[in-house]
Structure 1
Amino acid sequence: MNEMSETKRVAIVTGAESGIGRGIAHRLAKDGFTVVVNDVNIDKAKEVEQEILQTSGTHMAMAVQGDVSKREDVFSLVEQTVKAFGCVDVYVSNAGIAQVNPIFDITPEELEKIFSINVFGTVYGLQAAGEQMKKQGGGKIINAASIAAHKGASLLSAYSATKFAIRGLTQSAAQEFAPYGITVNAYCPGIVGTDMWDYLDEKLAPYMKVDKGGAFKAFVDGIALGRSETPEDVASFVSYLASSDSDYMTGQSVIIDGGMTYS
Structure 2
Amino acid sequence: MLTGQTAIVTGSTSGIGLGIAEKLAAKGANVVVNSYSDKTEDHAIAAGIASRHGVEAVYVKADMAKPDECRDLVEQAAVRFGRLDILVNNAGIQHVAAVEDFPVERWNAIIAINLSSAFHTIAAAVPHMKAAGYGRIVNIASAHGLRASPYKAAYVSAKHGVVGLTKTVALELAGKGVTCNAVCPGFVLTPLVETQIADRAKETGLDRETVIREIILEKQPSKQFATVEEIAAATAFLASKDAAQITGTTLSVDGGWTAQ
* TM-score, normalising length: structure 2: 0.93
Does residue 55 of the first structure (1) align with residue 38 of the second (2)?
Answer: no
The farther-off stretch of 11-20 and 168-177 is 168-177
Structure 1's unaligned 5+ residue stretches are none
Among 229, 233, 237, the residue aligned to 2:230: 233
Task: Give the Cα–Cα distance (whole angstroms) in 2 for the partners of residues 174 and 251 of structure 1.
Answer: 5
Among 143, 154, 158, the residue aligned to 2:150: 154
Partner in structure 2 of residue 93 of structure 1: 89
Task: Give the Cα–Cα distance (whole angstroms) in 1 for the partners of residues 175 and 22 of structure 2.
Answer: 31
1:43-68 deviation per Cα after TM superposition (whole angstroms, max 9, x unaligned): 2431321221221122x111100012
The farther-off stretch of 44-53 and 205-214 is 205-214
Structure 2's unaligned 5+ residue stretches are none
1:155-205 deviation per Cα after TM superposition (whole angstroms, max 9, x unaligned): 112111110011111111111122432111010111111100011112333
Correspondence list, 1:29-108, <5 A: 29-43=25-39, 44-58=41-55, 60-108=56-104
In structure 1, the residue corresponding to 2:28 is in which secondary structure?
A: coil
Query: Quick one: which amino acid aligns to residue 74 of structure 1?
Result: C
8 Å contact 2:20–2:231 — kept in the other structure? yes
Partner in structure 2 of residue 255 of structure 1: 252
1:4-57 deviation per Cα after TM superposition (whole angstroms, max 9, x unaligned): x98621100000010000000000000010011011122243132122122112
- Alignment root-mean-square deviation, CA: 1.9
Cα–Cα, structure 1 residues 181 and 36, in superposed 2: closer, same or farther, change >3 Å? same
Task: Give the Cα–Cα distance (whole angstroms) in 2 for the partners of residues 177 and 209 of structure 1.
Answer: 50
1:196-241 deviation per Cα after TM superposition (whole angstroms, max 9, x unaligned): 0011112333555523454333333654444212211100100101
Query: Quick one: which amino acid aligns to residue 205 of structure 1?
Result: A
The farther-off stretch of 96-105 and 225-234 is 225-234
Correspondence list, 1:143-222, <5 A: 143-218=139-214, 219-220=216-217
The farther-off stretch of 84-93 and 223-232 is 223-232
Does residue 110 of the first structure (1) align with residue 106 of the second (2)?
Answer: yes
Task: Give the Cα–Cα distance (whole angstroms) in 2 for the partners of residues 161 and 11 of structure 1.
Answer: 27
> What percent of counterpart residues are identical?
34
Task: Give the Cα–Cα distance (whole angstroms) in 1 for the partners of residues 113 and 192 of structure 2.
Answer: 15
8 Å contact 2:93–2:110 — kept in the other structure? yes
The alignment of Structure 1 onto Structure 2 pairs a total of residues equal to 258
The farther-off stretch of 173-182 and 84-93 is 173-182
